[in-house]
Copies of this chain bind each other. A is one copy, B any other.
Amino acid sequence: MPPEKPVPALANFEKAFRPRSVAVIGASDDATRISGRALHYLIRAGYRGAIYPVNNRRETVQGLRAYAALADVPQTPDIALIALPSRLLEGALTECLEQGVGAAVVYAAGFAETGSDGGALQDRLAAIAAAGDIRLFGPNCLGLLHTDSGFAGTFSSAFDTALPTPGGAAIVSQSGAYGGHLAYLCEKRGIGVGYWVSTGNEAGTDVADCIHWLALQDDVSVILAYAEGVRDGETFRAALQAAHDHRKPVVFMKVGQSAAGATAAQSHTASLAGTDAVFDALCRQYGVYRAQTTQEQVDVAYAADRGRFPTGRSLGIITVSGGFGVQLCDAAERGGLDVTPLAESGRAKLRELNPMGSDNNPCDTTAGWLNDMSLITKTFDVMYSDGGYDSIIGSFTMLPDSPTYGEEIRKAIGAGTSEFLDRPTALCMEARTEVVRAYERDGFLVFDDSERAVTALSALAYFAVHFDTPVVRRDRKRTTRAPLGSDPLSEHAAQQLLTEAGIPFPASTLVTHPDDVAKAAADLGFPLVMKIVSPDIAHKTEIGGVVLAVEDEAQATAAYATVLERSTAAAPSARIEGVLLGVMCPKGVETIVGVTNDPVFGPTVMFGLGGVQAELFRDVAFRVGELDRDEALKLIREIRGYPLLTGFRGASAADIHGLADVLVAASRFAVTHANGLDSLELNPVVVLGEGHGVLALDALITVRPDPREH
Contact = CB atoms under 8 A, between A and B. Distances in A.
Interface in A143-200: 157-158, 174-178, 180-181, 184-185, 188
Most buried by B among A158, A256, A332: A256
A612 B158 CA distance: 53
Interface stretch (A416-424, A444-452, A659-667): A444-452
A322 interface: yes
Contact of A430 (B184, B450, B615): B184
Given A322-B175, A615-B649, A648-B616, A327 B641 contact: no
Interface stretch (A232-240, A288-296, A434-442): A288-296
Given A177-B323, A295-B452, A617-B640, A330 B255 contact: yes
Nearest to A323: B175
A321 B397 contact: no
Contacts of A322: 175
Contact of A177 (B177, B226, B320, B641): B320
Contact of A330 (B256, B330, B430, B643): B256
B451 A295 contact: yes
Contacts of A226: 323
Contact of A616 (B185, B430, B615, B641): B641
B175 A293 contact: no
A329 interface: yes
Given A255-B327, A259-B326, A616-B641, 14 more contacts: A157-B398, A174-B323, A177-B397, A178-B324, A180-B397, A181-B324, A181-B430, A184-B398, A228-B326, A256-B330, A293-B451, A293-B452, A294-B450, A612-B648
Given A177-B320, A641-B616, A258 B333 contact: yes
A617 B617 contact: yes
A330 B449 CA distance: 23
What are the 3 tightest A-B residue pairs by CB atom distance, in nearest-first order? A177-B321, A175-B323, A258-B333
Nearest to A366: B109
Contacts of A158: 398
Interface string A664-697: 0000000000000000000000000000000000
Most chain B beta-carbon contacts within 10 A, residue among A158, A321, A641:
A321
Q: How many copies does the complex hold?
A: 2
Interface in A389-410: 397-398
Interface in A623-667: 640-641, 643-644, 648-649
Contact of A258 (B294, B330, B397): B330
A104 B295 CA distance: 44
Interface in A593-628: 612, 615-617, 619
B644 A327 contact: no
Given A257-B333, A640-B617, A294 B175 contact: no
B255 A323 contact: yes
